[in-house]
Amino acid sequence: MGDETMHITIGHLYPDLLNLYGDRGNTIALSRRCEWRGIDARIVDIGAGQDADFEDIDLFFIGGGQDFDQRTLLADLGVGVAGSKAERLRNAIESDVPVLAICGGYQILGEYYRDHEGQTATFIGALPMYTEAGDTRLIGNIVFRADAVEGTPVVVGFENHAGRTRLREGACPLGTVMRGFGNNGEDGTEGLRYRNVIATYSHGPLLPKNPHVADALIEAALQRRYSGAKLRPLDDTLEMAAHDTMEHRLIS
């Protein structure tokens, strides 16, 4: 099947609350890279109080937000409630629907977040990890080798988080930190890869500067809808020049 006949629907969860450091640019990058290939990409914004048929969504995006914003979403997500957004998102993940989750969105997909006062917020529990508040923020540019993405691309981005995320035994990190802090600033891991979920602390936005990651998500989404679908290459000269300049500046 020619990719000019294909279409995907991208569900952007909480675009009004979870949009730090240009994270909305990730959905723009996804839609443009589809458009340049003749693929019809429709973006559906799903904010608090809004809903959509999750079975119609081919790819989910969840951006980063302040700790307070994360907590205000719990009632809307309906964690622990049958038929809630949280349950339907977990079911989508277990059905291999691709998800890109950044920073706060990454934390929300985990088991819980424990703050400085020892208060614990129970999150969705879709990923085998948990997060606890640290004494300082982990801030700065980040470079990591995305071992869990085909081709093992080097990813560049920006991180700013107080949470220290710990992966459960056997969980697969998204990558290995080359510069920066990553999940917790201690064990050298960054992000988490579970089924078709790519979860990371990398803002920036992530995808315009790292087109290989964008294409991995698009191709996974297409292959669920169109068996055997493959993306045709794009001319990423400008994107990779920007990427390589930042990589060289940070790790040379």
Q: Give pLDDT, residue 3.
A: 45
**Residues 175-186: tens digit of each pLDDT:** 999 999 999 999
Give residue-wise pLDDT tens across range 39-75: 999 999 999 999 999 999 999 999 988 766 666 788 8
Q: What pLDDT, on the 0 to 100 scale, is given for residue 193?
A: 98
Summarised one tens digit per residue, pLDDT across range 67-100 is 666 667 888 999 989 999 999 999 999 999 999 9
Measured between alpha carbons, how far is 45 from 28 in angstroms, rounded to an integer? 12
Task: Give the model confidence (pLDDT) of 208-242 as tens digits.
Answer: 999 999 999 999 999 999 998 999 999 999 999 99
Residue 203 falls in the annotated catalytic set: yes
Return the pLDDT at 2. Answer: 47
Choose the catalytic residue: 34, 103, 161, 243: 103
* Burial per residue of 87-96, b for 16 or more beta-carbon CB atoms within 10 angstroms, e otherwise: bbbbebbeee
- Annotated catalytic residue, options 12, 161, 203, 212: 203
| Residues 146-176: tens digit of each pLDDT | 999 999 999 999 999 999 999 999 999 999 9
Q: At what angle do helices 237-251 and 211-225 cross, to 10 degrees?
A: 130
